[in-house]
Amino acid sequence: MENYQLPIQNYPWNCLSLRPNSIEMSGQLKEVRIRIGSVKTTQQITKAMKMVSAAKLRRATDAIVQMRPYAEKLQEMLSNIISSSEGDLGGDLSKEREIKKVLFIVVTSDRGLCGAFNTNVFKAAKAKMDSHYAAQYAAGNITVLPIGKKGMEAFERIGMNMENDFWNTFSDLSFENVKKAAEYARQAYLDNKYDKIEVVYSKFKNAATQEFICEDHLPIPRIENDGEAVQSDFLFEPSKEVLIEELMPKILNTQVYKAVLDSNASEHGARMTAMDKATENAEELLKDLKLTYNRARQAAITTELTEIVSGASALEG
């Protein structure tokens, strides 16, 4: 009797697409391909965000570099004059009083994806509250005036008292808009609504480095050397009193504006750095995924070849 061999194309070993192991391997490869596509898309987004932040950082850096020496010199002059004067030069804005209620002007950003920038500003403000104003905090006598959406959201989550009229200042950043917040704070201090005002912000150093600062705003801080008031060597024309009365509000507005510009530059620097790190991490992840995909694909091909050879050998036997 003549031996009859079943054609390989009709033999079950050739039904590769129907085998459970093959189906499972195909599903794994598809999942890895989808992940590779997702990571590539994310990497394109992080690259674009890095470039946008770099462009914005250059403008923000120019603004704060030009503003900072002017604002710091004005603050130094004002503190020097107040410290060296005898009497009530500066009026209520320079008088220290018992601290019962405190206002924190906290400058954050409107958007996230900038690393730990907003979190660090929040932590700096909270640390100052806990270390210097624990009694006022426990009594509910601390209020936050946020400039920036992220700060507003963070302090709302912990139930802080809020002044929410100026949180969207960054939507149209200008001296006039920042001045509104500064003037509100100054008037609230004059009305004895608050006994102390602090400004919390991030001082820009470079794209990768920011310094988180809690700065006394009101009453105007005095400069002392070894416990003694410094002596001013300024010449005034017209009188010192007239100049101080005219310049003091403008100087205080400038200090808040400087803090906002510092934070704006710090935000863009932090975002550029974060997006650069994210792009690098995406590249590393892509290498790992491609290696995983190639290994799985090679394993699938080897398995299929082995099964075909085994099936052919079985038919020959």
Which residues are catalytic, by number?
114
Here the contacts of 154-158 (C-beta below 8 Å, separation 24 or greater) are: 154/108, 154/118, 154/122, 155/106, 155/122
Reading phi first (left if > 0) and then psi (alpha if -120 to 50, else beta), residue 115 is in left
Mind giving me the DSSP string for 47-87?
HHHHHHHHHHHHHHHHHHHHHHHHHHHHHHHHHHHHHH--S
How far apart, in whole angstroms, are the C-alpha atoms of residue 118 and residue 106?
Answer: 10
- C-alpha distances (whole Å) from 262 to each of 60, 108, 198 are 8, 10, 16
Separation of alpha carbons 185 and 218, rounded Å: 9
**3-class secondary-structure state, position 160:** coil
Partners of residue 144 on adjacent β-strands: 104, 162
Pick the closest to residue 204 from 84, 63, 298, 13 (CA basis): 63
